[in-house]
Amino acid sequence: MPLHKVARSMTLDLLRVAHSLGIDPAFEHDERVDVTGQIDLLAERVGDLSDNAMRRYLGT
């Protein structure tokens, strides 16, 4: 599974929340990275990382 597709999907899911907080959740990737795993668990981890990043950005 291409990791950038999972990350982009999660970024799109968090877009509305991020914008309501005044955050622009830009997503960039330079190289293709393939990972093996269960898609739902990978998506959950990427979502957790994104959520943590937004909280850190806001200082909460």
Mean pLDDT of the chain: 80
Domain ranges of the chain: 3-58
| Site of tokens 């269960």 | 38
| H-state helical runs in the chain | 3-20, 39-58
Sorted by sequence, the CB contacts under 8 Å of residue 58 that are 6+ apart come out as 21, 23
Is residue 60's pLDDT more than 60?
A: no
pLDDT at residue 16, as a whole number: 80
β-sheet bridge partners, residue 2: 34
On whether the CB atoms of residues 14 and 47 are closer than 8 A, the answer is yes
Average pLDDT over residues 26-51: 83
pTM for this predicted structure: 0.64
